[in-house]
Structure 1
Amino acid sequence: MDITLDKKSPTEALIKITLKENDYQPNVEEKVREYARKASIKGFRPGKVPTGLIRKMYGKSILVEEINRILSESVNNYVKENKLNLLGDPLPDLKKAESVDWENQKEFEFDYSIGMVDDFKYDISDKAKVTRYKIELDKKTLDETLDNIKEQFGKQTNTEKPVKGDDFMGTLSSADGELTNEGIIKFNYLSKGGEKKLLGSKPGDTVELDIKKDFKDAHAVSHALNIGEDKAKELAGNFKFSLDKINHVEPAEMNQELFDGVFGKDVVKSEKEFIEKVKSTVEENYNRETGYYLDREIRDLLVKNTKMDIPGNFLKEWLLRSNEGKVTQEDVDREFDDYVESMKWDLIKNKIAEDNEINVEHEDVVNQAKAMILQQLGGAGAAEQLMEHMDAFADNYLKAENGQNYMRLYGELRDNKILELVRNKISIKEKSVSLDEFKKIVEKESK
C-alpha cells in the first residue's frame, strides 16, 4: 500500500492511497472462508458450502467492505502519525470512487480531501484589553423596580372604571375575523391614543383599535394577539376589542409583610434595608449579564487578533456533505462567517487548554450536577434533607440523554476554566454605567 500527502496549499491537501492486491486479498479470502463456515444454503450441510460459491454470491460485497475498512484505518493512522491538525473529516473523491470497476480491477486508487489549520499564536497577555461594565442602578430604574415589586405583591381586583396601569381582558379580532385572540392587553402595550380609548371604556364595550397607531410597537401587538413579532409587523388597519374585565392592582404597602414575601421571613426588617437589598439583588443580576457580555468581548477580541488561515472551500464542501441534504449551498454561504468564527474560537480554546494543562475531572462534573439539582429543588435549604439522595440524583441526570447532559456540563466547566485563566491574564478595565447606558453599548455592538 502506498499513501502520500499532496499539499495544494498550507491548509488544503489530498491524501492519496494506492492498494495492491496483496494489501487486501488475504483478508478477503479469510472472510470468504469464514462466510463458508457460517453460511446456511439449501443443498449444503453447515460448514460445507464451497468457497467458490460464496465468492460468486458475496465476493464483491466482501471486497468492498474490506477495502473500506482498510481505507478508514489507513487514513486515521496517517493523520495521527503525521500529526495533521484537521478541520472537519477527510472527504473521499466521490467521482473517483464511483469509477471503480469492482469486478475486474486488482489495483485501486483513492483520494481524500482534507482541510488543515497551521500552528497559530494567540495573545492573552496584558496587551489584550477589554472593558468590564458594572451596572449601578439609578434612582429612576430603582423606583421602577420597587413599583413593579409592589404591583406583583399587590391585591388584584376587577373594576368598572379603569385608571392608568390597569390591564384589559377581552377578545381582540381583525375586521374580517380571521385573526382573533382572547387574552390581556396590558396598559404598557398601548400608545397615548390607545390609552385614551381604553381608559374611556367599561366592561361590555367594544373598542376599535388601530393596530399600528394604538399600540406602542410590533412587540406589544405580538403579545396582545399571541403571534410572532414578524407577523405583527405586517398587520395594519382597525381591530375590534371586546372588553370583558378590567384588572386593577392595588400596590402592596411598604411593610414587613412585603419584605417577608420578597426575601423570606425577617431577612430584612426596615424599608431602608429592603431598598438596599432590592438594589444589590438587581445589580447582581444585571452584572451577571455584564459578565456574559465580558466573556463575549474576550472571545471576539481573541478571534479578531489571532491570525489563522482557514480552508474555506474545503469547509463549505464538508458542511454540505456532512449534513446530508439538510442544508443547501445558500444556507452554508449565509451562515459561513458565523461558523468560521465559532470554529476559530473552539481552536483557540483548545490550544489555551492544552498549553496551560486545563482539565476537568469527573468529580468536578458530578459536583456541578449536584449544585445545579440543589438549586432547582430549593437551594441550600433543601441540601440537608436531600443530601443522602444527591449521588443518585446526579448519576441519573448525567446518564440521561445518552450522556449529553454529562458532556454539556463538562464543556461548560472547561469553558469557565479557560475564560477564568484568560480574565486573569489580560488587561480588564472596569467602568460603572447605568442600565440604559449598558443597553446602548450592547445595542451598538450588535449592529
Structure 2
Amino acid sequence: MQVTETLAEGLKRELKIDVPANDLASKLDDYLNELKTKANIKGFRPGKVPVGHLKKMYGRQAMAEILSNTIQESTQKAVEERSERPALTPEIDLPEEDAEKILAGDADLSFTMTYDVLPEFEIMDFSGIEIERPVVEIADEEVDQQIAEIAKNNTPFDTKDGPAESGDRITMSYVGKIDGEPFEGGADENGMLVLGSGQFIPGFEDQLINLKAGDEKVVELTFPEDYPAAHLAGKAATFDVTVKDVAAPGEATVDDDFAKGLGLESLDQLKEIVRGQIESQFGALTRQRVKRQLLDKLDEHYSFDLPEKLLESEFDVVWRQVEEDMKRNEKTFEDEETTEEEAKAEYRKIAERRVRLGLVLSEIGEKNDIQVTDEELQRALYDRVRQFPGQEQQVFEFYKNNQQALASLRAPIYEEKVVDYILELAKVSDKTVTKEELEKLVAEDEDDA
C-alpha cells in the first residue's frame, strides 16, 4: 500500500492510496482457498472443488468484499500511521469506471480519501475560572403555600341535598353523540366533575348548574374548532347526562391526619418532601445558570479553526429545527424582523459555538479519563423507556439495536460529568437570590442563546 498526501490545508486532508492488483489477487486466492475447504457444490467432493471453478462462480462477489475490506483497512491504517484524528468518517472517492477494472483484476486499487482532522489545543487551567452560583433559600412561607395548594387539590366533598352550584362536585353517567350516534371516548359511567373547574368542553359545566341527584339532562354544545381530536373539532354534539350525586366542597385541615391521608407519616414529613421538591426545582435552574456561565467562559477562552464538515453537519441540524419551528408557528423571517440570510448567519454562530464547546469538553473528558458507566447509561435508557408507556419493549429494543441512538443517551451524561469535573477545579462562590431573580437570570441566558 502506498499513501500520498495530496492536500494539507488547515484542517483539510486528502490522501491518495494505491494498492497493487497483485495484492488484491493474493487476497482473492486466500479467500478462495479458504472457501474451498467449506464449499459444498454438487458434482464435487467436499474440499475438492477446483479454485478456478470457485473463482468463476464467486470471484466477482469475493473481490467486491475484498475491496470493501481493503478500503476500510487501508484508510484506518493510513490515519493511524499519520497519528491523526478525523473529525468524521473519511469520504472515499473511487471512480466507477475504475471499480469495474479492479473487480475484474485488471487494475490496481487507487482511491482518494478526504477528511478534516480535529484541531489541537491546550487544556486551560480551570482554577482561574470564577463562577457565581445563585442559590434560592426556601422560606417556610413558600413551603406552606405549596402545601395549601395541595390541600386545595385534595378538597373533601360531602354529599348534599339540593341543586348543584359552582364549586360542587357532580358524579354522573353520560353518553356523547354526534348526529344521534355515540362517538368513541364520549361516555363514562361514573364521571366526576367539579363545576367551574373548566375540565370539560366550554358550555358543558354551565348546563349542569341547578341539577340534583337523579336528574337527567341533554347537554347541547359544539366542540371548539381547535379541539385536539380532529374528527370532533367544530362538530355539534349532545350528551345524555344522568346525575348520580351532588357533593359540596369542605375544607381540608392541614395536620398530621391530612398528611396520613396522602400516605405519609406526618405533617412534618410532608413539609420535608415539599421543601425538597422546591429545592430540586430551583436547583435545576441554578445548575442551568452555572453551566451557562461555565460554557461562556470556555467559549471566551478558546478560539480555533473548526472542521468544516462537522460544522456543516451541526448547522444543518440547527437550521432544520429553525425551519420546523417557524412552520409549526406559522412564522416568517419578516415576522421576526430579519431575513433568511441574516438568520442563517446568526444560527451559524450558534452552530460554531456548539461545535467548538463540544470539541473542548470532549478533549477535557478524554484527557482526564472521564467515562460514562454502563450503570449510568442503563439508567438513562430506562428513564427514556418510561416516557413511552405501552411501548416499553419496542423502545428498549430500538436503543439496544441502534448504536447512534444509544450514543444520543450517552452524550448528555458525558457532558454533565465533564462540567462537574471542571466545576470542582473552578472557583465557585454562592450568592443568595430570590426565586424571581434566579428565574430572570435563566430567562436572560435563554434569550441570549
Common fold: TM-score over 0.5: yes
The reply to whether residue 349 of structure 1 matches residue 361 of structure 2 is yes
Q: Equivalent residue for 1:13?
A: 13
User: Compared with structure 1, are the counterparts of its residues 344 and 174 closer, same or farther at alpha carbon in structure 2 (3 Å cutoff)?
Assistant: farther
* C-alpha distance in structure 1 between counterparts of 2:430 and 2:314, whole Å: 42
Amino acid at match of 1:151: K
The within-5 A match list for 1:282-293 is 282-293=277-288
- For 1:87, what is the secondary structure of its paired residue? coil
Q: Equivalent residue for 2:420?
A: 420
* C-alpha distance in structure 2 between counterparts of 1:33 and 1:184, whole Å: 78
The within-5 A match list for 1:39-438 is 39-93=39-93, 95=95, 100-101=100-101, 102-103=103-104, 105-121=106-122, 123=124, 125=126, 128-137=129-138, 142=143, 144-156=145-157, 160-164=163-167, 187=196, 189=198, 197=206, 200=209, 202=211, 206=219, 208=221, 211=224, 227=228, 249-262=249-262, 264-266=264-266, 268=268, 277=272, 280-294=275-289, 296-298=291-293, 300-301=295-296, 304-305=299-300, 306-313=302-309, 316=312, 343-359=355-371, 365=375, 401=400, 414-428=414-428, 430-438=430-438
Amino acid at match of 1:252: A
Q: Output the aligned Cα RMSD.
A: 5.2
Q: Any conservation in 1 of the 2:98–2:107 contact (CA below 8 Å)?
A: no
* C-alpha distance in structure 2 between counterparts of 1:72 and 1:332, whole Å: 36
User: CA offsets per residue over residues 141-196 of structure 1, 9 Å max, x none?
Assistant: 65542222213444245674233486898788999999985688775558xx9799
User: Compared with structure 1, are the counterparts of its residues 157 and 130 closer, same or farther at alpha carbon in structure 2 (3 Å cutoff)?
Assistant: farther
- Matched positions, count: 391
* C-alpha distance in structure 1 between counterparts of 2:322 and 2:307, whole Å: 14
- If each structure's helix is expressed as a fraction of its own residues, which one has the higher value? 1
- For 1:24, what is the secondary structure of its paired residue? helix
* C-alpha distance in structure 2 between counterparts of 1:358 and 1:19, whole Å: 39
* C-alpha distance in structure 1 between counterparts of 2:168 and 2:360, whole Å: 51
User: CA offsets per residue over residues 186-238 of structure 1, 9 Å max, x none?
Assistant: 75558xx97994795647553657959xxxxxxxx8xxx5x38xx8xxx7899
User: Compared with structure 1, are the counterparts of its residues 7 and 314 closer, same or farther at alpha carbon in structure 2 (3 Å cutoff)?
Assistant: farther
Q: Equivalent residue for 1:215?
A: none
Q: Equivalent residue for 1:382?
A: none
Q: Any conservation in 2 of the 1:174–1:180 contact (CA below 8 Å)?
A: no
* C-alpha distance in structure 2 between counterparts of 1:5 and 1:16, whole Å: 6
User: Compared with structure 1, are the counterparts of its residues 49 and 77 closer, same or farther at alpha carbon in structure 2 (3 Å cutoff)?
Assistant: same
User: CA offsets per residue over residues 350-381 of structure 1, 9 Å max, x none?
Assistant: 2112333435677xx48997xx99xx9xxxxx
* C-alpha distance in structure 1 between counterparts of 2:427 and 2:41, whole Å: 76
Q: TM-score with structure 1 length normalisation?
A: 0.65
User: How much does 1:18 deviate?
Assistant: 1.1
User: CA offsets per residue over residues 216-268 of structure 1, 9 Å max, x none?
Assistant: xxxxx8xxx5x38xx8xxx7899877766677653421222123345732473
* C-alpha distance in structure 2 between counterparts of 1:99 and 1:176, whole Å: 70
Amino acid at match of 2:75: V
- For 2:72, what is the secondary structure of its paired residue? helix
User: Compared with structure 1, are the counterparts of its residues 39 and 19 closer, same or farther at alpha carbon in structure 2 (3 Å cutoff)?
Assistant: same
User: Compared with structure 1, are the counterparts of its residues 168 and 238 closer, same or farther at alpha carbon in structure 2 (3 Å cutoff)?
Assistant: farther
Unaligned segments of structure 1, at least 5 residues: 213-220, 321-326, 377-396
User: Compared with structure 1, are the counterparts of its residues 211 and 38 closer, same or farther at alpha carbon in structure 2 (3 Å cutoff)?
Assistant: closer
* C-alpha distance in structure 2 between counterparts of 1:253 and 1:130, whole Å: 45
User: CA offsets per residue over residues 84-107 of structure 1, 9 Å max, x none?
Assistant: 222221222265587542226321
* C-alpha distance in structure 2 between counterparts of 1:236 and 1:122, whole Å: 61
